[in-house]
Amino acid sequence: MNAHLSPNQKAWLRFRKNRPAMAGLIFFALLTAVIIAVPWISPYNPDALSDAQFQPPSAQHWFGTDIHGRDQFARVLYGARISLLVGAVGAGVSLIIGVLWGAVSGYLGGRTDEFMMRFVDILYALPSVVFVIVLITTLESLVKNWLSQSSFGISARLLFLFVGLGAVSWLTMARIVRGQVLSLRGRQFVDASRALGASHARILLRHILPNVTGVIIVYVTLTVPAVILYESFLSYLGLGIQPPMASWGSLIAEGARQLNPIRIYWWLLVFPCAVLVTSLLALNFLGDGLRDAFDPRSDK
């Protein structure tokens, strides 16, 4: 019945039958639309101070207000922009490094492959979060001076989150791509291209990597929530996004600081946590669905 369909069409049909994956896709699409439309949805500036401090959720402030009277709904959605941006850019950095490293290692093989993979094993043994923390604490002041003299509208902390989180997330990508390239480099179509005089770069870019695209897409989708979780953890420790900018992690940290035995301002913690957890679940469901959809063993 589906014999006339292309592999991508079959993958889409399998993906549509995966209800958790479709739910994750719909949630993420709605979240993206709300984030884009937040200036029209919420009339409040996320950084504007007011006298309405610690107001519980109401018709005026859907998620309540914080210690400075700022609208929590606006801050959660504007914080989503930062968290998702860090996740997307970090996953992009890991994509570039991991694909190039794994493809070169798997294609060349021999001692080159052994050396490159031993380097990956050494990096795997190092605690990745500690590496990012050391990177931020030791080099931030130097980069901050350089950025202050440039025209880039980006903070040193945000730049380090982009680079640092991406730099510690490429190792698994490299291993996966290497394994796929190892299984493809001995195929007949690769031997035919080599016999026709194609260069190594052309064989990799035109013949091998296109056959690994499905696996790459799946792992990138699963890398985004991992990077977001890293950023939230660092922001909770005070090493991530700094005020007045907001991310989900920094909002959770602010809410946790307001917990006391006298009165609990629950909305400051519940809403950022709920949006973060739901988004991570949606992205993981989406990644799992893509993995199952692109799995050739799913063909019947």
Q: Is residue 133 part of a domain?
A: yes
Q: Is residue 181 part of a domain?
A: yes
Q: Is residue 244 part of a domain?
A: yes
C-alpha span between 212 and 250 (Å, rounded) = 37
What is the pLDDT, as a whole number, of residue 74? 92
At residue 143, does pLDDT exceed 70? no
Q: Give residue 145's pLDDT band: very low, low, confident or very high (50, 70, 90).
A: low
Condensed to tens digits (0 to 9), the pLDDT of residues 148-168 reads: 544 444 566 677 777 788 888
CA dihedral 94, 169, 101, 15 (to 10 degrees): -70
Task: Decide if 167 contacts 97 (C-beta within 8 A).
Answer: yes
Q: Would you state the structure tokens that stand for residue 16, as one six-digit string?
A: 């549509």
Q: Is residue 139 part of a domain?
A: yes
Q: Which residues pair with 71 in a beta bridge?
A: 65
Radius of gyration, alpha carbons of the chain: 23
pLDDT (average), residues 189-203: 83
Average pLDDT, the chain: 84
Q: What φ, ψ does residue 22 adopt, rounded to 5°?
A: -65, -40
Q: Is residue 212 part of a domain?
A: yes
Q: pTM of the full predicted structure? A: 0.83
Kindly list the distances between the CA atom of residue 2 and the CA atoms of 11, 57, 119, 250, in Å, as whole numbers in the listed order. Answer: 11, 51, 44, 49
What is the pLDDT, as a whole number, of residue 101? 94
At residue 232, does pLDDT exceed 90? no
Handedness of CA 245, 246, 249, 255 (dihedral sign): positive
Q: Is residue 54 part of a domain?
A: no
What is the pLDDT, as a whole number, of residue 123? 86
Domain that holds residue 233: 8-36+63-298
Question: What's the number of domains the chain is made of?
Answer: 1
pLDDT (average), residues 272-281: 92
What is the pLDDT, as a whole number, of residue 144? 63
C-alpha span between 282 and 133 (Å, rounded) = 28
pLDDT (average), residues 205-219: 85
Residue of 261, 284, 245 whose CA lies nearest to 253: 245
At residue 6, does pLDDT exceed 80? no
Q: Is residue 117 part of a domain?
A: yes
Q: How far is CA 279 from the centre of its chain?
A: 11
Condensed to tens digits (0 to 9), the pLDDT of residues 87-141 reads: 888 899 899 999 999 999 999 988 999 999 999 998 888 887 788 888 777 776 6
Task: Decide if 297 contacts 101 (C-beta within 8 A).
Answer: no
Condensed to tens digits (0 to 9), the pLDDT of residues 32-82 reads: 999 999 888 888 888 888 888 888 899 888 999 998 889 999 999 999 998
CATH number of domain containing 132: 1.10.3720.10
| Contacts (Cβ under 8 Å, ≥6 apart) of 198 | 206, 207
Q: Is residue 129 part of a domain?
A: yes
Q: Would you state the structure tokens that stand for residue 128, as one six-digit string?
A: 């990745």
